[in-house]
Amino acid sequence: MNNDIKEGKTTAIVAYMTMVGALIAISMNSDPKNDFARFHTRQAFGLHLVFLGCAIFLSNWFSEYAWYGLYVFYIVLWFYGFLGALNGKKQEVPVLGPYFQKWFTFIS
């Protein structure tokens, strides 16, 4: 396993633990910059942000099936990203992953 992956794995895993975990991971990766941790922090931050934004939207426009769809979408993408962090792989989450890497360049 690459040393960069080994050092950033804990931060990458913490990033997937809710939005608070993503914010903690951003601060954990502030001093010794780690590329693997930065990659997964961007992915997790984006997932949490999209989920929260959609949840706020759905709280005003209630549809039971839309909530089910949102949770299935979020859980599947979260699980995909989390397994990538656990296995030491830099795999983008489907559909939104490339955008998260472009949009969240402030996470360094």
CA distance 29 to 33: 5
* Residue extents of the structural domains in the chain: 3-103
User: Alpha-carbon Rg of the chain, whole angstroms?
Assistant: 14
Q: What is the DSSP letter of 1?
A: -
pLDDT confidence bin for 107, thresholds 50/70/90: confident
30-65 b/e with 16+ CB inside 10 Å = b?
A: eeeebebbbbbbbbbbbbbebbeebeeeeeeeeeee
97-106 b/e with 16+ CB inside 10 Å = b?
A: beebbeebee
Q: Residue 18 region, left (φ>0) first, then alpha (ψ -120 to 50), else beta?
A: left
> What average pLDDT does this structure show over 13-36?
89
The answer to whether the predicted template modeling score (pTM) of the entire model surpasses 0.85 is yes
Position 1 pLDDT exceeds 70: no
Q: How confident is the prediction for the chain on average, in pLDDT? A: 89
> What average pLDDT does this structure show over 50-79?
90
pLDDT confidence bin for 64, thresholds 50/70/90: confident
CA distances from 106 to 37, 52, 58, 75, 103 (A): 14, 20, 28, 25, 8
- In tens, the pLDDT along 36-46 reads 999 999 999 99
Q: How much of the chain, in percent, has pLDDT values that exceed 70?
A: 99
